[in-house]
Amino acid sequence: MQGKKIIVGISGGIAAYKSAEMVRLLVKEGCSVQAVMTASAMSFVAPLTFSTLTGRPVYHDLFAERQASTVHIDLARWPDLVIVAPATANFIAKVAHGLADDLLSTVLLAVRLEECPIILAPAMNTAMFHNWAVKENLALLRRRGYILADPASGELACGEVGEGRMLEPEQLLALIVRTFGPGDYAGETVLVTAGPTREALDPVRYLSNHSSGRMGYALARAASQRGARVILISGPTSLEPPPDVEFYPVTTAREMFALALKFFPDVDIVIKAAAVADYRPELQAEQKIKKGEALELKLVRNPDILEELGKRKEKQFLVGFAAETAELLTHAREKMERKNLDLVVANDVTREGAGFNTETNIVQLLYRDGGVEEFPLMSKLELAHQLLDRIKVCRRG
Ligand code: PMT
């Protein structure tokens, strides 16, 4: 998505506030985004919101002073993709029938559909969505090659529940990514584990760690954006799973192990970003443990999931993380050998901006031939993409 030029059109619906988040996600992906608003959109969200997020002035006026009279043509020639979100019933009707009475509708008329995909994300009340005029306009647009982000069912701003709710920003982002092509991971199945595991002591307490799941979810998102089928097995986190991934929530290491074993024969790549508890209490008390002078716990070993997968490895490419607080490379190399890994992401979790519960990470990659590559501080999503790039090169041999 890096460097892609995208026009985000916003027409006048309450879902305009969600477009701001979609724009933020696109900018985070490295896209250049130009917002174009209708007059009614500006009654819902101020242009300042979009100009701040995109770093560009918002266009909304076909005849603005100090603006070339061909602004609609200049805009239409610029993008790699146009998305209108929300697309109201009125705006859809205008596009379907070639009306051009404001800047956004004129730009849409001037974009060459055969060179630049146009996505429309309808958002409206259920009755309006099922109105014959709207249905036929949408069918006409679909036939002509416009991409429709079919709205979901759910609670609407008017208080009704039904079809017409604009897709969530993450879902729109996924659709945009898919529209650009199948991606370099198309046809691959990637199994990602993420988050912590929890090992219960009694019905109210557990042993766990600080993993937020961010690293693993970023990997799942990146692989899915690049066209992979992604199976995400996650311990408890507060994150929303990325759209389009097969999501399996688990609690304990043994649950994660069972699912990883089940999917392993069908996957091409395993990336184990999860922070799995190495130990669990030998006994789990049925009732809440009561306070006493001291409490002795006996812990027993959990299965080492990655080590077990390493023993069963056939075609699969195995990537492990090594979260360390000292002697990073020594421990990481030992894990690579013992677990039969193809690549290890060595993570010094004591460094600021790295490791647990941060938006960023700083890692070193250990290759099978003894090579080490150091990465600077970067967002977990950017790291996920870099890691996928390296995996591709390693697998090509
Ligand atoms: O979730 P975040 O807040 O974003 O934090 C990210 C992270 C710090 C958790 C992540 O970057 C990371 O380093 N994950 C690995 C943490 C870990 O458990 O490392 P380890 O060195 O203990 O384990 C080595 C590898 O074996 C890991 O890939 C782990 O998933 C795997 N393992 C470990 C124990 C076990 N019983 N089974 C396993 O499969």
**DSSP readout, 317-356?**
EEEEEEEESSSHHHHHHHHHHHHT-SEEEEEETTSTT-ST
Rounded to an integer, the average pLDDT of 93-103 is 96
Q: What is the mean pLDDT of the chain?
A: 94
Query: For the domain 189-279+297-396, what is the CATH code?
Result: 3.40.50.10300
92, 122 in Cβ contact below 8 A?
yes
d(CA 249, CA 266): 19
**Is residue 2 very low, low, confident or very high in pLDDT (cuts 50, 70, 90)?**
confident
214 lines ligand 1 (CB under 6 A): yes
17 lines ligand 1 (CB under 6 A): no
Which of 106-110, 121-125, 179-183 comes out lowest in average pLDDT? 179-183
CA 335–ligand 1 middle distance (angstroms): 11
Ligand 1 pocket test: pick from 198, 211, 312, 382 the residue with the most ligand atoms within 8 Å of its Cβ: 211
CA 178–ligand 1 middle distance (angstroms): 30
320 lines ligand 1 (CB under 6 A): yes
Closest CA to 81 of 38, 109, 113, 43: 113
**Is residue 154 very low, low, confident or very high in pLDDT (cuts 50, 70, 90)?**
confident
Continuous segment of H or E residues that includes residue 205: strand 205-207
275 lines ligand 1 (CB under 6 A): yes
pLDDT in tens, 294-329: 889 999 999 999 999 999 999 999 999 999 999 999
Q: For Cα atoms 177, 31, 94, give the angle at the middle one, nearest 5 degrees.
A: 70
**What are the DSSP calls for 13-51, one per residue?**
STTHHHHHHHHHHHHHTT-EEEEEE-TTHHHHS-HHHHH
pLDDT higher than threshold 80 for residue 65 = no
DSSP letter at 242? P
**Is residue 114 very low, low, confident or very high in pLDDT (cuts 50, 70, 90)?**
confident
Tell me, what's the pLDDT at 187?
A: 94
304 lines ligand 1 (CB under 6 A): yes
Rounded to an integer, the average pLDDT of 265-282 is 98
Strand 5-10 to 32-37 pairing: parallel
Matching CATH topology for 5-180 and 189-279+297-396?
yes
pLDDT in tens, 80-91: 999 999 999 999
Q: Which of 31, 116, 158, 394 is catalytic?
A: 158
Contacts for 24 with CB less than 8 Å, ≥ 6 apart? 53, 169
d(CA 253, CA 184): 32
Q: For Cα atoms 344, 384, 20, give the angle at the middle one, nearest 5 degrees.
A: 160
215 lines ligand 1 (CB under 6 A): yes
Task: Locate the ligand 1 atom nearest the alpha carbon of residue 320 and give its number.
Answer: 28
Look up the pTM and report it. 0.80
How many percent of the chain have pLDDT more than 90?
Answer: 82
Domain boundaries, the chain: 5-180, 189-279+297-396
Q: Is CATH 3.10.110.10 what the domain over 5-180 is classified as, yes or no?
A: no
347 lines ligand 1 (CB under 6 A): yes
CA distances from 28 to 36, 120, 143, 168, 381 (A): 19, 21, 32, 16, 9
Tell me, what's the pLDDT at 36?
A: 97
The question of whether 116 is a catalytic residue gets the answer: no
d(CA 176, CA 147): 10
Taking CA atoms only, the protein residue closest to ligand 1 atom 27 is 321
CA 193–ligand 1 middle distance (angstroms): 9
d(CA 392, CA 185): 9
pLDDT higher than threshold 90 for residue 256 = yes
pLDDT higher than threshold 80 for residue 134 = yes
Closest CA to 24 of 60, 50, 59: 50
CA 312–ligand 1 middle distance (angstroms): 19
Task: Locate the ligand 1 atom nearest the alpha carbon of residue 278 and give its number.
Answer: 36
276 lines ligand 1 (CB under 6 A): yes
DSSP letter at 68? -
CA 273–ligand 1 middle distance (angstroms): 5
CA distances from 319 to 216, 232, 274, 387 (A): 12, 14, 11, 10
Tell me, what's the pLDDT at 58?
A: 96
d(CA 183, CA 18): 26
Which of 68-77, 121-130, 283-292, 354-363 comes out lowest in average pLDDT? 68-77
Rounded to an integer, the average pLDDT of 130-143 is 94
Task: Locate the ligand 1 atom nearest the alpha carbon of residue 303 and give its number.
Answer: 36
Tell me, what's the pLDDT at 393?
A: 92
Instruction: State the alpha helices, DSSP H only, in the chain.
Output: 16-28, 41-44, 47-54, 71-77, 89-96, 103-110, 126-129, 132-144, 169-179, 214-225, 253-263, 305-312, 328-339, 380-396
pLDDT in tens, 320-374: 999 999 999 999 999 999 999 999 999 999 999 999 999 899 999 999 999 999 9
